[in-house]
Structure 1
Amino acid sequence: MKILVVDDNSGLVRTMGKVLAKAGYEVTQANGFHEALDKASSQKFEILLTDFDMPEGNGIELIKRYREKNRKQKIVALIMTAYPEVELEIAKNPGTVDGFLLKPFLVRELLDMLKRYH
């Protein structure tokens, strides 16, 4: 499965990329909102795993923009966040986010969540 991992923390993106590649995913990494949009315009992904809070835009907006550009494609959209109150933002946008993980999370939690979608 092709997965786009997005976070403004480049160290976290690299680490998650290595972990997910080792687990068998085809991983593309993006360091922030705009880089993710650039990569999403030239590639198709089955999973979008994005941070919620980034300086250039939030993860929900990124998911919406990806889906607008790729209307015919089904994508699983997952949010990572350190802020539990993001559930309220997700609730305000029904049907946008398929799941979320609270940071810090265990690798097993991430892999278990991803397994639910393939």
Structure 2
Amino acid sequence: MAKILAVDDSASMRGMVAFTLRSAGYDVSEAENGQMALDTAASSKFDLVLADVNMPVMDGISMVRELRTRAEYKGVPILMLTTESNTDKKMEGKAAGATGWLVKPFDPEQLLATVKRVLG
């Protein structure tokens, strides 16, 4: 099953996302900010990254930009899972290299359907 990196500064949100994905059989690792996610992504290859936008240390959009500079993450789907829903922020995410945008609170079935779709 696919390896997914869940990135969110909220431990409860990370937990809910990880629980939802693990229940569907995915192998999930967690990081609490963009910098931790980059460090984790450097030591293990993931098939999908799910990240919040607003986080301390390094925000999600900066993390996406940095991941996209790494050859092993050029084609990896990166979904933003965030409370941010304004068009400008979505466009900023897309320009950075985000594959898709999901708004919190998330529906577990919608999350799993989206993950399945982007993983192919």
TM-score by length of 1: 0.88
Are residues 1:20 and 2:26 paired?
no
* Number of residue equivalences: 117
Which 4+ runs in 1 deviate beyond 6 A? none
Q: Which amino acid aligns with 2:91?
A: A
| CA offset digits 1:23-61 (Å, max 9, x no partner) | 011111111122111101101111010001112222121
Give the Å deviation of 1:104: 0.8
- Structure 2 CA distance, aligned partners of 1:67 and 1:94? 11
State the Cα distance separating 1:70 from its structure 2 match: 3.1
How far apart are residue 72 of structure 1 and its match? Answer: 6.5
Q: Could you say what secondary structure the match of 2:95 adopts?
A: coil
Unaligned runs of 5+ in 2: none
Distance in 2 between residues matched to 1:23 and 1:71, nearest whole Å: 25
Structure 1 residue runs of 5 or longer lacking an equivalent are: none
What TM-score results when the alignment is normalised by the length of structure 2?
0.87
**Partner of residue 89, structure 1:** 89
Structure 2: how far apart are the matches of 1:106 and 1:98?
19
Higher helix share: 2
RMSD across aligned C-alpha pairs, in angstroms?
1.7
Change (3 A) 1:32 1:95: closer
